Each structure stands twice: as C-alpha cells, then as structure tokens.
A and B are shown apart, each in its own frame.
Chain A
Amino acid sequence: MGIIFYIAAVVAILATVLMLTRLNPVHALLYLTVSLLSIAVVFVTLGAPYMAALEVVIYAGAIMVLFVFVVMLLNLGRQTVSTERTWVSPGMFVGPAILAAILVGEVSFVLARPGSVTPPAAEIGPGQVALSLYGPYLLGVELASFLLLGALVGAYHVGTRKAQGRTGGSGSDRARVTSGGDLVRTGANRPSGAA
C-alpha cells in the first residue's frame, strides 16, 4: 500500500501546485482534474473504494463539466479562433498527460497484481457507509436534500436573465439574432438595462 499511496499523494500535490500557477483557466482545469483523480487513488489505498468512485463520478465528472461549460460560455464573445488555436496547442497536454500516465501505471499495476493494495485498517465498504448514513446521520441527509434544492432554485434564479422584458420584445430579439445569441451578446450590443 505504501508506495502507491505516496506516489498518488505526490501526484496530487504536484497537480495542485501546477493548477495554481497556470494563467489559463483551461490548463488549470486539466491539472485540477488530474489532482482529483489522484485523490481518488489515495481513497482506494485508504480502504474507501466507494468514496473513490464518487470522487471520480461527481468531482472529476460533474463539477469539472460545470467549470468547462462556464469557461466556454465566458470566452464565446471575445475570443477568436486564433487564440483558441494557441490554447489547444499540443504542448499543454504534456504535463497533465505525464501525471495521468503515472496514475494509469499505478492502476494497471494494481490490476495486474490483485491483493497488492491492502488498506491499513479494515476496508469500509458501501454497506457500512449506508448503514451509518441512514442511521445516526438521517437528519444530515434531510438537510443535504434541503441544501441541494436551495442551490438548484438559487442557481436558476441567479442564472436567468431577467432584463429581457425591459428592453422591448422585437428590438431585443433582433439584437439577439444579429449578435449571434443570448450569451454571445456583450459590449456595445448589450442593452443598457440588461444586467
């Protein structure tokens, strides 16, 4: 367990440092994804495979997709194709690819030799977690559902553009069509009331 744990931990810290020092949000997102994946490997070595699966699915999957969507939406209006081409240069993939290759090597090593990962204590499976979650922590589950519902309604409320009605129907529609879409419209084309 020891060497795999330490390699994954070093990869996580390296990826996080590199994430913080990037200037480009897309590069930082790549490094952040690698960092989350290495944390998942650390969870496996700690005897929490269910948490590792959740880390990969929710953090590295869902939350990173949210970040990528927001980065895409923010850069639609001002970035041209040339800057996009410089962003997606082959050189930017080298660092995350090396770190991810280390993780893939670890996973293949573990798959090739079953039983090589032995957690320090007894492995805590999903069954135990579920028994504890719906036993003494039932109130926490209900509060979490409240929190998620509040976040859903709040994000929808914040995210909608409420100023559409104020600028007049046909004019704002024409402006939207000429400037290429609702989220593209920035700068001079933006109606003054839209905020």
Chain B
Amino acid sequence: MFALGLIGLLVRRNLLFILMSIEVMLNASGLAFVSAGARWGQADGQVMFLFILTVAAAEVAVGLALVLRLYHRFHSLDADAVSEMRG
C-alpha cells in the first residue's frame, strides 16, 4: 500500500492525485502501526494511528487550500506549472 502511494506520488502530475497519494501513504503507515500493535498486543499502535489521523486531517486541509489558490493563479492543476515560482 505504501509503495502504491509512493508510485502514485511520483507518476501523477495532477495536484489532486498527488494529495490523494499522500493520503494513501499515510493510511498505509497507520495500517502498519495498528497491525504491529495487534501483533504485540499493545495499545501504542492505535495511539500512533490517532496521531497519523490528526496529521492527515491537518495536511489535507492546508493542501487543498493551496490547491485552490494555485488553480486560481495558474488555471491548471499541473504540478510543473508551479515550478516557475521563486522565493
């Protein structure tokens, strides 16, 4: 799952798909934490998944706001269109 998210991040050039791939990667790491916690019978894995959930929510809020601004600025969701930004 994590590898799929990473491949999606590298292959796609659409900003929305890049954000979705980041979600997939965060989700996969959370799944790894929960399964490890279930393997050893500890609650720490689920606590870590809660933190990952928080990070994902914060990331997607800021990321989608940035995507909206960039779309209004460049009229495109191409990640290469933003590469001319300086400073």
Contacts and interface: CB of A to CB of B under 8 A. Distances in A.
Interface string B10-21: 011010110111
Contacts of A194: 72
Given A25-B17, A39-B27, A120 B38 contact: yes
Contacts of B19: 67
Interface residues on A, range: 35 or more
A124 B41 contact: yes
Most buried by A among B11, B45, B58, B69: B58
B24 A32 contact: yes
A120 B35 CA distance: 10
Given A16-B1, A58-B53, A70 B62 contact: no
B20 A67 contact: yes
Interface stretch (A92-100, A106-114, A153-161, A173-181): A153-161
Interface residues on B, range: 35 or more
Given A42-B31, A46-B35, A124-B41, A144 B20 contact: no
A121 B62 contact: no
Contacts of A132: 42-44, 46-47
Interface stretch (A48-56, A80-88, A164-172): A48-56
B41 A48 contact: no
B82 interface: no
B68 interface: yes
Contacts of B27: 35-36, 39, 59
Contacts of B42: 124, 132
A132 to B, nearest CB: 4
Interface in A17-70: 17, 19-20, 25, 28-29, 32, 35-36, 39, 42-43, 46-48, 50-51, 54, 58-59, 62-63, 66-67, 70
19 contacts: A13-B4, A19-B8, A20-B7, A20-B12, A25-B17, A28-B16, A35-B24, A39-B31, A54-B49, A67-B19, A70-B67, A124-B38, A129-B43, A131-B43, A132-B42, A151-B57, A154-B61, A154-B62, A161-B72
Interface of B: 1, 4-5, 7-8, 11-12, 14, 16-17, 19-21, 23-24, 27, 31, 34-35, 37-47, 49-51, 53-62, 64-69, 71-73, 75, 77
Interface of A: 12-13, 16-17, 19-20, 25, 28-29, 32, 35-36, 39, 42-43, 46-48, 50-51, 54, 58-59, 62-63, 66-67, 70-71, 73-74, 119-122, 124, 128-129, 131-133, 137, 140, 144, 147-148, 150-152, 154-156, 158-159, 161, 186-187, 190, 194-195
